[in-house]
Amino acid sequence: MADLEKIMKEENIVYKKTKVLTDNVMHYCPGCSHGVVHKLIAEVIEELGIQDKTIGISPVGCSVFAYNYIDIDWQEAAHGRAPANATATKRLMPDKFVFSYQGDGDLASIGAAETLHACNRGENITMIFINNAMYGMTGGQMAPTTLVGMKTSTTPYGRNIDLNGYPMKMTEIVASLPGTCYVTRQSVHDAASVKRCKKAIKKGFENQAKKIGTSFIEITSTCNSGWKMPPVEANKWMEKHMFAYYPQGDLKDAERDNPDDYIKYIK
């Protein structure tokens, strides 16, 4: 124990909660990926020194209260419309850092149009996409990203393609749009993936300063409440099943397409 006292001194701290996170207790279920991603965004904001220049747009869904946890200015958007808020905010204040934070119901279902068009215009924003294959807040209904066979409260016998269509790979769709510069799929289920994800988020923010297009970061996540699994088991289930359908890693790391390449068609 004497040892512990020697170790646990201020000067020996190698990791602590960033000050950009508030002291509020998060309302998320134990083990929910949202908390980890919030932390990473906050750490990136701290490291880049942009707390006074960052505006977050929160969605409707479990992360509607994201503004209670990251100590920056926030707008709480209408369901699915965060990219529209972000578009105007960034265009009117081009020197600020603007990011949207949305779940799969918000971004891929009701807000699919806003998502695609913001990416297609190449808005200089960072879009954070939490894909846990389910509507968490409303109690575990099917999302566009729900895997086939996955049981949810609106697919009690498992998602069926004839009835419900195919699980939507939003990130692949977005990667095919010329306005995006950086599109990646990450996760936060273990220490290594957390570190990788943080790098990705940081890159997404740095791209804003370079004004090279939209950065889109999917974080394949768990919703242990909706999935009805303990957090550790949910992570394992995600690795086994979600990663197979939603492969991890960068899909695109470039700049938005060169506008000059497009003018030739009417020349």
210 binds another protein (CB under 8 A): no
Q: Which residue has the tokens 């470039």?
A: 254
CB atoms within 10 A of CB 256: 23
228 binds another protein (CB under 8 A): no
Chosen residue from 41, 44, 62, 77 binding another protein by CB under 8 A:
77
Q: Which residue has the tokens 């509607």?
A: 64
Contact status, residue 47 vs residue 202, Cβ threshold 8 Å: yes
Which pairing describes strands 126-131 and 97-103: parallel, antiparallel, or unpaired? parallel
224 binds ligand SF4 (CB under 6 A): yes
Contact status, residue 123 vs residue 90, Cβ threshold 8 Å: yes
Question: Which positions from 47 through 66 interact with ligand SF4, judged by CB under 6 A?
Answer: 62
Chosen residue from 41, 44, 62, 86 binding another protein by CB under 8 A:
86
Chosen residue from 88, 163, 209, 254 binding another protein by CB under 8 A:
88
167 binds ligand SF4 (CB under 6 A): no
Rounded to the nearest whole angstrom, what is the least distance from the CB of residue 237 to another protein in the complex? 13
Q: Is 141 left (phi over 0), alpha (psi -120 to 50) or beta?
A: beta
Taking the C-alpha atoms of residue 218 and residue 10, their distance in angstroms, rounded to an integer, is 36
Contact positions toward another protein, by CB under 8 A? Answer: 3-4, 6-9, 12-18, 21, 25-26, 28-36, 39, 51-55, 57, 64, 67, 71-78, 81, 84-89, 91-93, 96, 113-114, 117, 188-191, 194-195, 230-232, 235
